[in-house]
A and B are shown apart, each in its own frame.
Chain A
Amino acid sequence: MVASARVRDAGGSAGSTLDVRHVSHAFALEGAPLPVLEDVSFTVEPGQFVALLGPSGCGKSTLLRLVAGLEPPSSGGLVTDGRPIAGPHPSRVVVFQDPTLFPWRTVRANVALGLEAQGLLKTQASRIGEALDLVGLSGFENAYPHQLSGGMAQRVALARALVNEPSLLILDEPLGKLDSLTRLAMQAELVQLWQRARFTALLVTHDVEEALILAERVIVFSERPARIKADIRFDRPYPRHRDDPALIQARREILALLGVPD
């Protein structure tokens, strides 16, 4: 499914570092503050694949919005490559749980969105075809989103992110709504894309197995307000297998941390 295509021609390390420093965040809910993140600190190395795991509704997705720069944190700071995150930037692209493709644009025009917004469409148009190639959707350029299956739509969303050659790819449960077969296939594709392009990846999921198939490091959060409960390194070679005893062992430990009997 993953075609061989160039993602990045610039040399050197592709991924960026991410520093989350004492970040706390609260929503105003009917006047009263609702704390969702409490003193969260961690550092992500360039090119690392980190999974953020926790009970649903605990505030993981909020953390991703802060990293994307869509909202500023109530307190604390976020720094990437030494610069504080002050707003959204195409080097930090988010793939959301819903593909949120623009229904009035063709697949090609959807993927072109980032280049168009940055005024790069004329000079960098060849990247669109490469990105579609990369997610295995060449030939669907002129389809409209309503003609695509859920898996295809999410692939387009992935291509729309990758075309910007992000140094930090933010994945907010991107496979959460796919059927289980498509999901397994796309987990493998994500690993290959990441290995090829070496961006730093931050994945929110509540599927422990998915976290262990994809990530080198799993950060486990508590219930709301989210605090870091555990920070687990999982150094197994890729491609990983679900029946790997180490994976099964790690899965059992994480589930115990989350208070779910295995």
Chain B
Amino acid sequence: MSAVGDDHTGSLTMTAARRPSWRLDTIALIAGLGWIAVGVFTLQWPEEGDFARTPEFGNAAIGFGALLALLSVAAGWSPVIATRLKAVSRWLVVLAVWFGVWEAVTAKYALLPMPFFPPPQAILEVFLDDWRRLGESVWRSFALLGGGYLVGAAVGFITGVAIGWSRAVGYWVHPLLRFVGPLPATAWLPLAFFLFPSSWSASTFLIALATGFPVTVLTWSGIAGVSKAYYDVARTLGASERFLILKVAIPAAMPHVFVGLFMGLGGSFAVLVVAEMLGVKAGLGWYLQWAQGWASYANMYAALAVMALSCSGLITLLFKLRDRLLSWQRGLVQW
């Protein structure tokens, strides 16, 4: 019985050892062929309309597909490429199908009403021809958001620590926070544009407000939730009040603070776009509004894509910062 079992395991190991180590990533190859098909379809099929950048899009799709096909073969030798490719290959198949269908229902058969649903090459056209204005808008949005967010986060953090630590501060600030905090920052918009000397300072204030509220509340709850035992330990070791705040309360509250910073960032995006649409004459929100005025829907989709990338990038940045600072925590959510 046992001898048979041993023999069986032995033969299994042998087969595993004989199997060649080189393996093609089939799904990635399918994705590559799919992208080549999208490119050929774009280049060869007659179009219902006149699109300037059809060749660029078609060639880019073929190039990308060829690269994928090459990588799917290279994955057989390089474990690094294999694991990276495996992580995204199924998504790349779905995206190839998505772009193929998109190309078909817009440029090729015009099944969707034209100005509202531009084909991929029309959006590529925006990136290729209007990148200067788009880039300027991204930069202006970042500058406005960055200023407001940093001010709001800093003020919120300090306020939160002060309320959490001092009863006197809590007595005066807590009611204000309860009354004013839940009000959406955008509700202040008409008043802010009237009260502040410039639309830029008004928007900075609003973004800071939207960021500051969640950061304050979560910093406060973080400070309030610090175990008394930590203070006892630090006090018996000779810690001053200053040490208790800076080296005990704040580090212990940091996980909460980051939840506040994350929520504040989401809120600040919303305020930024609204402020740019209604008052500030620059930025991605303004670009959206401007594109709508000219009924250039391709520009709007392009701006939305850039906006999604930027917001996602900023959130990623925040999570990276958190992972660095809070590496001592277990079970962090991976963004």
Say which residue of A94, A103, A117, A160 sits within 8 Å of B232 (CB atoms): A94
A51 CB to nearest B CB, Å? 20
A198 CB to nearest B CB, Å? 20
Given A102-B230, A102-B248, check contact A113 B237 (CB 8 Å): yes
A8 CB to nearest B CB, Å? 17
Separation of A4 and B247 alpha carbons in the complex (Å): 32
Cβ contact within 8 Å between A103 and B328: yes
Given A98-B229, A117-B243, check contact A103 B235 (CB 8 Å): no
Say which residue of B230, B238, B252, B326 sits within 8 Å of A114 (CB atoms): B238
Instruction: Give every chain A residue within 8 A of B227 (Cβ-Cβ).
Output: 100
The residues in B between 312 and 335 inclusive whose CB is less than 8 angstroms from any CB of A are 326, 328-330
Instruction: Give every chain B residue within 8 A of A100 (Cβ-Cβ).
Output: 227, 229-230, 232-233
Cβ contact within 8 Å between B237 and A90: yes
Given A103-B329, A116-B247, A117-B243, check contact A92 B236 (CB 8 Å): yes
Separation of A118 and B229 alpha carbons in the complex (Å): 19
B96 CB to nearest A CB, Å? 44
Total count of chain B residues near the partner, CB < 8 A: 22
Separation of A102 and B229 alpha carbons in the complex (Å): 10
Given A116-B247, A144-B328, check contact A104 B254 (CB 8 Å): yes
Separation of A89 and B235 alpha carbons in the complex (Å): 8
Grouping DSSP codes into helix (H, G, I), strand (E, B) and loop, the A interface class, with mixed when no group exceeds half, is loop
Cβ contact within 8 Å between A114 and B237: yes
Instruction: Give every chain B residue within 8 A of A98 (Cβ-Cβ).
Output: 229
Cβ contact within 8 Å between A93 and B229: no
Cβ contact within 8 Å between B237 and A96: no
Cβ contact within 8 Å between B236 and A88: yes
Given A70-B232, A94-B232, A98-B229, check contact A104 B252 (CB 8 Å): yes
A229 in the interface (beta carbon within 8 A): no
Cβ contact within 8 Å between A94 and B252: no
B234 in the interface (beta carbon within 8 A): yes
Instruction: Give every chain A residue within 8 A of B238 (Cβ-Cβ).
Output: 88-90, 114, 117-118, 164
Separation of A92 and B235 alpha carbons in the complex (Å): 11
Known: A100-B229, A160-B237. 16 other contacts (CB 8 A): A70-B232, A88-B237, A94-B232, A96-B233, A100-B227, A100-B233, A103-B328, A104-B252, A113-B234, A113-B237, A116-B247, A117-B237, A117-B247, A145-B328, A160-B233, A170-B236
Q: Which residues of A contact B (CB under 8 A)?
A: 68-70, 88-90, 92-94, 96, 98, 100, 102-105, 113-114, 116-118, 144-146, 160, 164, 170
For the complex of A and B, 5 pairs with smallest distance between CB atoms: A114-B237, A90-B238, A117-B239, A88-B235, A118-B238
